[in-house]
Structure 1
């Protein structure tokens, strides 16, 4: 644990004070940490490659296709149309609330990284139109996706934890919403307004969200068309996650060809690719753009996020080193046998796993595995209690997103933030989400 803490401190010094390029700093610290922690020399490079490759496999296609979809929304004027509609319906003062509520709705089946990527053009357009720090609009959206990703099925973390703990996923959905919505309102929406008022951050220079499209004049898409394009990947992904849940319950046959095809199309990268193809026709060809223009715009969208993808992968590499060395397992095992209340122990174990290796999903599932024997041995736990324990684990897996979390680098780079700004905005918001969510679940656990 001392070596892990020291490696994080060294990484922060290199990036914040020495101004070393983050990818170089992450590689150097990951390599040094692996050697100090005693990972065998013949396993060091494999561990680095597994961390890098595993993270890139999760985010590269999602971020790439998401950026393409966002670019089509921008150049067609679709982002501006939806932004105008939100502001008109909710008013300028409630624009952050409107964006956050939309994030909660879209956050049911869609993952944090894909959801943020899709919503950023709208967030940037609203920020340019209304002024003020982009954090005022971005944090409520990012926080909405973070809450839904951690607390609510059918996302993989809570579903896996529910299976290990023995909680009912249908009831967990209701309990997750009961805890998650007030948690979002306080820790993401409220903190976003507070942080936006104290940390002015302009729309990133590499963003093309100017609020104006480049499609032929007078041919901007309607609000319904834009919403339909945003809902398309949402519905495809929901089809995948819904069928997966039904297959686990034995309601549908997972071996059926039609089910397998539907689940394949609903994988996040494929769903986003389908949405890009549809948007190229609906927002491009049908509004006067040529195929060459569309190809050029889609290609240019990738140049702005290439660094984001690589730095995110490097963050996963650092997390993989800490996980391979078993930094979190020893302390988690000690907490599991410390005799503290089971819901508190579940939360603390998840915190340890989150801080040690970075991934919220890994922390959630690992902590659930650690605490599952204690839950099974406990008497008098109701179905709601089991769900609240899962939410406590999810809360612990959310706190303290820092330099070993690929999401830390993804959000920071997408919003154009340096490391100190990311720490005092994204990291603080994630920690607030975890703490508020745990306090609410603990309170309900004591009362119900």
Structure 2
């Protein structure tokens, strides 16, 4: 299958999947896997190749973020059981005050995700989000949306995250990352503001599972929680399991950007790998357990973590299967082949292409890198950049921003980040569409409008 029929089939498949999950209460794992299988058959993937395609999509998620989610969740439960998360929440509240916790977690996410993938960042910061909610009695959903939005914004706009770096190189400004970082920071501001107000709004409309549980039982006050832990751990011990992985991943990103060589590059790349960085964080988590005289609980905490993380991993992997089937069906190739049809819309062109690819296959990084490859270098003749009149370094940097805005529009069931946010945030899939999907739509549109206004003055 090819052409418009392929697009129509994809849209129908997504609609059927959403209806199955939200209206008929089919488990997301079964709904996504079933739709992926049927879609593969309908679009004409050879039957003898379809099992391999499904297997590749499923295993790909475990390869990329499976272990990261497990390690991050284990660190999180250690922070929770030792009282370290409450200590960290106390430290944050002392800096920003109790009145705007959503703003605090939004900015925290935005900063952390500059060197760290948003999936990993959410898992790492989730214990702080939960503790801050209890500390300030703020909406859990508002805190979840704010954290997700902060992480996602820098993930698509600001190097050294791999997507923006790859896009900058593809459009010809790989040697001018400072310009990309500067524009990324500027575009982030209206995007974060829009996300903040939406988080505040939707937090009043939806209640997460932990809030519903609080209503069914007598909620312990913050002071009672602190007394249960006895003496809280020191600020350094509480911070180390989180800050060490962030520092290691930052080091790896710096080494990549500066193109270090030899043994130094090897060591930095090893330590900067999210799996290795979180392993180091877990080691400090074990030290934290020992300092609180709870090391004997480590085995039980590991079992508890695996029970919690299992459903998240399998649903996330199912989303990877759907994305792989869509790619194999030729959707991305079709967009590439017909890019010229959309070329009359100027700076909105890369946004639209990236948004289509993001919505179709789920990965923001894939959407960014694919769209950037379609655009080509601003300095080379015959490229889409030349055809659109985007022929200066500033125009190229704005193109990277437009690609990033499209690549966040929208996060839904075939995106691993969607399931990380909804599951860790204690929300149902249909609530995820009202929160994660809707906030990414708003952020993408606001970001693109901001980019268009900038283009009127600086291009």
| TM value normalised by structure 1 | 0.92
User: Which residue does 2:271 correspond to in 1?
Assistant: 265
Instruction: Give the Cα separation in 2 of the matches to 1:214 and 1:14.
Output: 46
User: Which residue does 1:237 correspond to in 2?
Assistant: 249
For the 8 Å contact 1:23–1:310, the answer to whether it is kept is: yes
Instruction: Give the Cα separation in 2 of the matches to 1:20 and 1:336.
Output: 40
For the 8 Å contact 1:164–1:369, the answer to whether it is kept is: yes
1:315 paired to 2:319: yes
User: Which residue does 1:297 correspond to in 2?
Assistant: 301
User: Which residue does 2:80 correspond to in 1?
Assistant: 74
**Which piece of structure 1 moves more, 371-380 or 427-436?**
371-380
**Which of 194, 202, 209 is the aligned partner of 1:195?**
202
Instruction: Give the Cα separation in 2 of the matches to 1:51 and 1:295.
Output: 31
Match of 1:198, SS state, is: coil
Instruction: Give the Cα separation in 2 of the matches to 1:89 and 1:257.
Output: 40
Q: Once the 2 structures are TM-superposed, how far is the Cα of residue 229 of structure 1 from its aligned partner?
A: 3.2
Instruction: Give the Cα separation in 1 of the matches to 2:252 and 2:230.
Output: 38
**Which of 397, 400, 414 is the aligned partner of 1:404?**
414
Q: Which runs of 5+ in 1 are unaligned?
A: none
**Which of 359, 362, 383 is the aligned partner of 1:355?**
359
| 1:51-66 pair list within 5 angstroms | 51-66=57-72
Q: Deviations over 1:361-413 (max 9, x none)?
A: 11111111112221145656322211110010110011121222222222112
Instruction: Give the Cα separation in 2 of the matches to 1:311 and 1:380.
Output: 41
Instruction: Give the Cα separation in 2 of the matches to 1:164 and 1:61.
Output: 30
Instruction: Give the Cα separation in 2 of the matches to 1:112 and 1:415.
Output: 14
- CA 1:202/1:32 → structure 2, altered by over 3 Å: closer, same or farther? closer
Match of 2:417, SS state, is: helix
| 1:357-376 pair list within 5 angstroms | 357-372=361-376, 373-376=383-386
- CA 1:93/1:17 → structure 2, altered by over 3 Å: closer, same or farther? same
User: Which residue does 2:230 correspond to in 1?
Assistant: 217
User: Which residue does 1:6 correspond to in 2?
Assistant: 12
Match of 1:338, SS state, is: helix
User: Which residue does 2:291 correspond to in 1?
Assistant: 286
For the 8 Å contact 1:204–1:415, the answer to whether it is kept is: no
1:89 paired to 2:95: yes
Match of 2:49, SS state, is: helix
| 1:406-425 pair list within 5 angstroms | 406-425=416-435
Instruction: Give the Cα separation in 2 of the matches to 1:13 and 1:378.
Output: 39
Instruction: Give the Cα separation in 2 of the matches to 1:333 and 1:181.
Output: 35
**Which of 308, 324, 327 is the aligned partner of 2:328?**
324
For the 8 Å contact 2:88–2:235, the answer to whether it is kept is: yes
1:345 paired to 2:349: yes
Instruction: Give the Cα separation in 2 of the matches to 1:341 and 1:18.
Output: 40
User: Which residue does 1:158 correspond to in 2?
Assistant: 164
For the 8 Å contact 2:161–2:253, the answer to whether it is kept is: yes
Runs of 4+ residues over 3 Å off in structure 1: 204-207, 209-216, 335-339, 376-380
**Which of 429, 433, 436 is the aligned partner of 2:443?**
433
| TM value normalised by structure 2 | 0.90
